Amino acid sequence: EAQVTQNPRYLITVTGKKLTVTCSQNMNHEYMSWYRQDPGLGLRQIYYSMNVEVTDKGDVPEGYKVSRKEKRNFPLILESPSPNQTSLYFCASSLVGTGGNQPQHFGDGTRLSIL
Amino acid sequence: GQQVMQIPQYQHVQEGEDFTTYCNSSTTLSNIQWYKQRPGGHPVFLIQLVKSGEVKKQKRLTFQFGEAKKNSSLHITATQTTDVGTYFCAAHQTDSWGKLQFGAGTQVVVTP
């Protein structure tokens, strides 16, 4: 089954304790992206990757890191989490088409609480 | 830079009624996508519009892209309880298409 898998689905942790949210897709998609969703703000893009070893900042990259060593995986790293990073996080992937006109396939989300 | 504004933020609809949600941009968009997120779920792609003035239909849903490619609308006729959820529009930034901007979403509540 074609899917985007995120882990963990839920995490409660404390300020400053490094954490990684994994994202994996089995559709051979070149493009992958991370979003955070907060009430009233919709989805805001954190980082995206056009292909292996190619990553770039979205609209809200501060406090996050990513890596794309393999095509299928795109982990999101919070080196020193803070309470303002408490949010619902989504990973998404898509093919790369002309002008970027490809639908995003989303994972089920990861709810992070930073105390 | 490009900003995608979506209105209304909330929409309470009586079952059987119609409603429309709007997406507006200050700059010309290369394309616009629409997604639906059910409560507790993840966004699911509905449709993509690319051409100026384009209109696409999916059963009771009608999607429109403005002539100037700066606005889009989603119209739902004869609303059903299955239409509950949040509808988002999204657009790729024209000078950096890897960036995808979402509107804040329209949360739809349907009253039987």
- Residue from the list A40, A58, A108 with its beta carbon closest to the beta carbon of B104: A40
* Residues of A contacting chain B (CB within 8 angstroms): 31, 33, 35, 40-45, 48, 50, 56, 58-59, 90, 92, 99-101, 103-109
Confidence of residue B1 (pLDDT cuts 50, 70, 90): low
CA distance, residue B23 to nearest chain A CA (Å)? 13
Q: Which residue has the higher pLDDT, A57 or B94?
A: A57
Buried b / exposed e across A34-45, counting CB within 10 Å, b at 16+?
Answer: bbbbeeeebbbb
All residues of chain A having their beta carbon less than 8 Å from the beta carbon of residue B41 are: 108
User: What is the number of other CB atoms lying within 10 angstroms of the CB of residue B92?
Assistant: 21
What is the overall mean pLDDT for chain A? Answer: 94
* Chain segment B74-111, per-residue pLDDT in tens: 999 999 999 999 999 999 877 777 888 999 999 999 99
What pLDDT, on a 0 to 100 scale, did the predictor assign at position B95? 73
Contact call for B43 and A59, based on CB within 8 A:
no
Check A59 against B101: CB less than 8 A apart: yes
